[in-house]
Amino acid sequence: MERELLLLGLLRRSDMHGYQLHEFIERNMSTCTDLKKSAAYYLLEQMEGRGWVRVSGELAEGKRPPRRIYTITEAGEAAYQQLLRENLAQAHTSVFPGNVGLAFLSDIALDEAIALLRQRRAALQAQADAVAHAPPHAGSLQYLIDHQRHHLHSELAWLEQVLNDLEQRLKGDLT
């Protein structure tokens, strides 16, 4: 329900059409979350079926497909209130599939493991830089971005620790 929470939260601020919603998320939240265009359209239709949103207008400009402007309904507002509370109260167990490799780190020679993790560190650093340079946002959206920043720093610190550990061991092996 996280995706519908996101859409409802944005629609609550102002009516938008699908393309616009996707664009906003892409522009302002890409470091924290993502929502493909097709998924956005799909979710909007589905939520319309549930009565959470309704099409409040169809603006045709030229001969391109008319913009379908969505508005949140009362039922949608109620759903939003509940989803938001659930979301805030829960601690979702975070699973990092990208880290399974760590469990098998010792299957690789020390020096190669170090080289690989340095690559990872560089990529992670790039992500951290991207978030750092993101322009500040009004309201609590900033919390989400700050969280991502915090998380990336934590990941970098941990990786640094592992690298130090491995480098120490490498030294030990050579002497």
Q: Please report, as ranges, the residues that interact with DNA according to CB under 7 A.
A: 3, 17-20, 23, 34-39, 41-43, 45, 61-68
User: What is the distance, to the nearest Å, from the Cα of residue 75 to the centroid of all Cα atoms in its chain?
Assistant: 26
Q: Which helix (H) or strand (E) holds 82?
A: helix 74-89
Q: Is 139 in the site for a copy of itself (CB under 8 A)?
A: yes
Residues 166, 167, 168: CA angle, nearest 5 degrees: 90
Smallest gap from residue 67 Cβ to DNA (A): 4
Distance between alpha carbon 47 and the CA centroid of its chain, in Å? 21
> Of 19, 110, 120, 163, which one interacts with a copy of itself (CB under 8 A)?
120
Nearer to a copy of itself, 23 or 155 (CB): 155
Does 39 contact a copy of itself by CB under 8 A? Answer: no
Contact 34, 25 (CB under 8 A): yes
For residue 56, CA distances in Å to 13, 14, 67, 98, 142 come to: 15, 12, 10, 42, 29
Q: Which neighbouring-strand residues pair with 54?
A: 71
Which of 75, 134, 162, 163 binds a copy of itself (CB under 8 A)? It is 162
Q: Which residues bind a copy of itself (CB under 8 A)?
A: 2-3, 5-6, 9, 12, 29, 32-34, 83-85, 87-108, 112-113, 116-117, 119-121, 123-124, 126-127, 139-141, 143-144, 147-148, 150-151, 154-155, 157-158, 162
